[in-house]
Amino acid sequence: GAGVSQTPSNKVTEKGKYVELRCDPISGHTALYWYRQSLGQGPEFLIYFQGTGAADDSGLPNDRFFAVRPEGSVSTLKIQRTERGDSAVYLCASSSQGGAGGYTFGSGTRLTVV
C-alpha cells in the first residue's frame, strides 16, 4: 500500500478483555516496529521485527503483551487481560533502511480501557 495502515483507529474495551491491533506496513519493508505513546509522553519502543522474527521485544512491558508477524508483512499486537494503564496510542512503523534511513508511521490505534 501507499502507507502504513493501522486498524482499528480507535478501540474502547473493558478492563480484563483481550484486544488485537493490526499493522499493515509498506509493501517490501522488512523492518516493523511497534511503539506506545501514553498521554504527555513521547512514543516508547515495544517490539521490533526483522522479517517474520521478533529481533527485539525488550520494550514489551509484561507477558500480557505479545506480537506476531507470521508472513513478514502484517503484524498483530495482542494484549491480554487489558488494564486501564494500557490506554495509549499504539503506533506502528516500517522501514526498509532503518537508522539513518526513513521510518514511515501509521496513524496509530487509540486504545481506551474502561
Partner 1 sequence: ILNVEQSPQSLHVQEGDSTNFTCSFPSSNFYALHWYRWETAKSPEALFVMTLNGDEKKKGRISATLNTKEGYSYLYIKGSQPEDSATYLCAFPRAGNMLTFGGGTRLMVKP
One residue of 21, 108, 111, 113 binding partner 1 per CB under 8 A: 108
Q: How far, in Å, CA of 41 to CA of 71, rounded?
A: 32
Position among 7, 8, 9, 81 found at the interface with partner 1 (CB under 8 A): 9
Among 22, 45, 76, 87, binds partner 1 (CB under 8 A): 45
CB of residue 57 to partner 1, shortest distance in Å: 11
For residue 69 the three cell numbers come to 508477524
Cβ distance to partner 1 smaller for residue 28 or 40: 40
Measured distance CA(32)–CA(104) in Å, rounded = 10
Contact (Cβ atoms closer than 8 angstroms) between residue 8 and residue 109: yes
Using CB under 8 A, which residues numbered 51 to 90 contact partner 1? 55-56, 59
The contact set with partner 1 (CB under 8 A) reads 3-4, 9, 31, 33, 35, 40-45, 48, 55-56, 59, 91, 95, 98-108
